[in-house]
Amino acid sequence: MSAFTTILLETHGRVGLIRLNRPEALNAINTLLITELMVALEAWDADDAIGAMVITGSDKAFAAGADIKEMADASAADMRARDHIAPFDRILNIRKPVIAAVSGWCLGGGSELALSCDLLIAAETARFGQPEINLGVIPGAGGTQRLTRAVGKVVAMEMVLNNRTLTAAEALHYGLANRVVPAERCLEEALTLAAELAARAPLAIQAAKQMVNAAYETALTEGLALERQTFYGLFDTHDQKEGMRAFSEKRPPQWKGQ
Ligand code: CAA
């Protein structure tokens, strides 16, 4: 992949790790960062050598929101023309699992980015908030929508209307985070989880992710029908035959992603 300036990339076996890297701005998400992030995610999504991805920030901040300085002087027309939030929607199209490893500040667009991921490991130091109201605006990348679906209306109202910040323990309690771990173990925990997912049957993992996400987009009857057809569809894959044969033969399956 070409050189990036706002993110750092590493691979750990079948896991791709993206570190947000704008320390001078607490990883504030500017147009370049979201553009580079999506290029990296989409490249790994298309790469058979990668089975899952992790996005992380620094100890101090996962990301302190969209870059306020970049947009401060923009008009509404400028913002519509730039539409720098649009790349956030492309995260929905990533087929492989994406895990957020969150330490420190996870605010505004940073929180919205973390919420766009499929799983979230929070360090005890993580703090989640939607402080846009302090800037005279509202969240623009899912903070009124994904957050509300995740934590429920009353908590979302308090966060979005009154800048209530959640601790890591509260984020766990309200269903924003899968686990809370000591800060020094946060990335390791996320990488371990990602490696587990990357070792599973790739087509089934992708179908499973797609179906869980579909639960947010469809009525129940429609979602159940889609799930059933997807389940049946997997019976045309090598991995379904291998998985069920391996069960009968009492041996570990060898997945091919076919
Ligand atoms: N945009 C641009 N720069 C930012 C930034 C942001 N969102 N957050 C922090 N920075 C910069 C600061 O300006 C500062 O730069 P300078 O040293 O050049 O002044 C540097 O990062 C360090 O920040 P602080 O000195 O403020 O660090 P702190 O430890 O005192 O405070 C903080 C940390 C509480 C997170 C504070 O930086 C802060 O409140 N940041 C803004 C949070 C925010 O409002 N986020 C929402 C943005 S709007 C949005 O995200 C819209 C959307 O939905 C898409």
Q: How confident is residue 214, by pLDDT bands cut at 50, 70 and 90?
A: very high
Identify which of 6, 21, 26, 88 to mutate to test ligand 1's pocket (most ligand atoms within 8 A of the CB): 26
Confidence check: pLDDT of 186 > 90: yes
Q: Whose CA is nearest to atom 17 of ligand 1?
A: 24
3-state helix, strand, coil in the chain (%, to 5): 50, 15, 35
DSSP H helical ranges for the chain? 31-45, 68-71, 76-82, 86-90, 109-116, 146-151, 153-162, 168-173, 186-198, 202-214, 220-233, 238-248
Residues 6+ positions from 228 with CB-CB distance below 8 Å: none
**Residue 83 host element (H or E):** none
Confidence check: pLDDT of 1 > 80: no
The 10s digit of each residue's pLDDT in 95-130 is 999 999 999 999 999 999 999 999 999 999 999 999
User: Residues lining ligand 1, CB < 6 A?
Assistant: 25-26, 28, 64-69, 85, 105, 107-109, 112, 131-132, 135, 139-141, 143
For residues 59 and 16, give the distance between their C-alpha atoms in angstroms, rounded to a whole number.
19
Q: Which atom of ligand 1 is nearest to the CA of 108?
A: 50
Q: How confident is residue 252, by pLDDT bands cut at 50, 70 and 90?
A: very high
CA of 28 to the centre of ligand 1 (A): 7
State the DSSP code for 118: S
Q: What is the dihedral of CA 89, 95, 101, 106, to 10 degrees?
A: 10
63: how many CB neighbours lie within 10 A of its CB?
31
> Average pLDDT of 135-146?
96
The 10s digit of each residue's pLDDT in 30-67 is 999 999 999 999 999 999 999 999 999 999 999 999 99
Confidence check: pLDDT of 2 > 90: no
Q: Whose CA is nearest to atom 48 of ligand 1?
A: 66
Angle, CA 25 vertex, CA 171 and CA 42 arms, to 5°: 70
CA of 68 to the centre of ligand 1 (A): 7
Determine what percent of the chain is predicted with pLDDT higher than 70. Answer: 99
132: how many CB neighbours lie within 10 A of its CB?
23
Kindly provide the b/e burial profile for residues 190-229, where b requires at least 16 CB atoms within 10 angstroms of the residue's own CB.
Answer: bbebbbebbebbbbbbbbbbeeeeeeeeeeeeebeebbee
- The catalytic site residues sit at 66, 109, 112, 132
Q: Which atom of ligand 1 is nearest to the CA of 142?
A: 53
Q: Return the amino acid letter for 212.
A: V
Tokens coding 58: 């620094």
Give the three-class secondary structure for 12: strand
Q: Whose CA is nearest to atom 27 of ligand 1?
A: 26
Distance of CA 185 to the CA centre of its chain: 19
Query: What distances in angstroms separate CA 156 from CA 139, 167, 170, 202, 223, one per listed residue?
Result: 11, 14, 13, 34, 26
Q: What is the mean pLDDT of the chain?
A: 97
Identify which of 68, 70, 137 to mutate to test ligand 1's pocket (most ligand atoms within 8 A of the CB): 68
Of 100, 90, 21, the C-alpha closest to 53 is 100
